Structure 1
Amino acid sequence: MGNVPLDSALISPPVTLADVPLSRPVQLGVLASGSGSNYGAIAQAIASQQLNAEIPVLIYNNPKAKVLERAAQFGTKTQLINHRDFTSREACDQAILDCLRSHGVEWVIMAGWMRIVTEVLLRGYESRILNIHPSLLPSFKGIRAVEQALDAGVKVTGCSVHFASLEVDSGDIIMQAAVPILPGDTPETLHARIQVQEHRIFPAAIALAVTQYS
């Protein structure tokens, strides 16, 4: 297994962006807390005209989030909604919901959004909120999923795009990519290979979800 190439992941269903063309540009609202690498993959798919979509707003909750640098590169409008400024998760989600609606967002994309979603947002965008998680759900839900997989001694892990739900990482799965765990893998090396597959499947999963569930 030591010579397994980085792009050897098994993707299920085996769908590419070319298989699910969108008839009109769907309006995506992105939520991100960190570096925004998945946002970058989605924005690049849009810029290269592979994904027929627009991102009218990117909401971030961490004032120092590096996603701002990526957003500037793609010219995406950003809005800080700092959860620390609110007395409850519901109040914060209401502010997020108001912002998304004011920008005409149709689908919500949680791209490294490190907050638990509440009923406020789930009701506002029922069955239209997608999340990505670095494991083959339903295995290894929650935080430190990569470390969980290594600790469990499994031979394969991966990533999953799924609908957001009240129970963390438990919504219906849209697309997954399996990633082999190699001898000597560390959380950093494994996570890097998983991210390669996240960037491959997230844009395609968005197109698939919009096509099947709109």
Structure 2
Amino acid sequence: MLKIGVLVSGGGTNLQALIDKIEEGYIGNCSIVTVVSSKEGVYALERAKKHGISATCIARKNYADIKEYDEALIKHFEECKVDLIVMAGFLSILGETFVQRFKGRIINIHPSLIPSFCGKGYYGIIPHQKALEYGVKVTGATVHFVELEADSGPIILQKAVYVKDDDTPETLQKRVMEEAEWEILPKAVKLISEGKISVEGRRVRIKD
């Protein structure tokens, strides 16, 4: 049984997508054992509790520096015996201590086709604003392994979403979530839970 810990900072729509796919049986042999938010009172925590999942807030502001924050997160996830950590809209920075401790066991969903519109400062609505400003015809979402540099780890899955002439950042964000993020994040977790993922350098291989 693959034990999953989910990191969140907001409404938790990607968390909900994971919960739904586990409950439907699409993702087997795994369970979400803990949800950790970087902010108090976010709806993602309520989503977890509604489904009987342990949920807590570990806020960066309560720790003197990033190393102390990393240690608090590490302690929590190790106590929960987590095998895989999923960053599902987590907006706090993770430090080297945390990333190295769980190397190869942290994945993130990013709302663009990496390497476009990604890296430091590209979160939330910003990648969609930048995509529209640049005038791209296609954007999308990417699931990747997490390394210390933001959005730099090996890519597991990507899905494209066409940009419409009348899109606003908000309409584009919604469509990227519905058409790409909510599909490829559960799919990536499913592949990992089935042992179908291997990494060779920067290339992620998916077994049939």
Question: Above 0.5 in TM-score?
Answer: yes
- Give the letter for the 1:160 counterpart: T
Residue aligned with 1:98, SS: helix
What is the CA–CA distance in structure 1 between the aligned matches of 2:45 and 2:149, rounded to whole Å? 29
1:73 to 50, 53, 64: 50
Asked if 2 retains the 8 angstrom alpha-carbon contact of 1:30 and 1:39, the reply is yes
Matches for 1:112-123 after TM superposition, within 5 Å: 112-123=89-100
8 Å Cα contact 2:7-2:89 kept in structure 1: yes
Equivalent position of 1:97 in the other structure: 74
- Residue 147 of structure 1 corresponds to 129
**Deviation readout 1:124-172 (Å, 9 max, x if unpaired):** 1111100000000000012311111011000000000001111111111
Query: Which amino acid counterpart does residue 98 of structure 2 have in structure 1?
Result: L
Answer whether contact 1:131 1:164 (CA < 8 A) is retained.
yes
Asked if 1:185 is matched to 2:167, the reply is yes
Residues 1:97 and 1:213: Cα distance change in structure 2 (over 3 Å): farther
- Find the counterpart in structure 1 of residue 191 from structure 2: 208
- Structure 1 gaps of 5+ residues are 1-24
Q: What TM-score does the superposition give when structure 1 sets the normalisation length?
A: 0.86
3-state secondary structure, aligned to 1:54: strand
Aligned residue pairs total: 190
Match of 2:181 in 1: 198
Structure-1 separation of matches of 2:21 and 2:190: 11
CA distance in 2, matches of 1:65, 1:161: 23
- Separation of aligned partners in 1, 2:72 and 2:22: 27
CA RMSD across the alignment: 1.2
Residue 17 of structure 1 is matched in structure 2 by none
Q: Is the 8 A contact 1:174 1:209 kept in 2?
A: no
User: TM-score, normalised on structure 2?
Assistant: 0.88
1:66 shift after superposition:
1.1
Q: Which among 2, 24, 43 is matched to residue 19 of structure 2? A: 43
Asked if 1:174 is matched to 2:151, the reply is no
CA deviation map 1:13-65 (0-9, x unaligned)? xxxxxxxxxxxx31000000000000110011111111121111111110021
Query: What is the match of residue 125 of structure 1?
Result: 102
Query: Once superposed, which parts of structure 1, at least 4 consecutive aligned residues long, lie more than 3 Å away?
Result: none
- Following the alignment from structure 2 to structure 1, what is the Cα–Cα distance between the partners of residues 114 and 174? 18
Amino acid at match of 1:78: A
- What is the aligned-residue identity percentage? 36
**8 Å contact from structure 1 (residues 38, 202) kept in 2:** yes
Q: Quick one: which of 16, 21, 29 aligns to 2:5?
A: 29
C-alpha distance in 2 between matches for 1:146 and 1:165: 23
What secondary structure is seen at the aligned counterpart in 2 of 1:168?
Answer: coil
Deviation at 1:207, TM superposition (A): 2.2
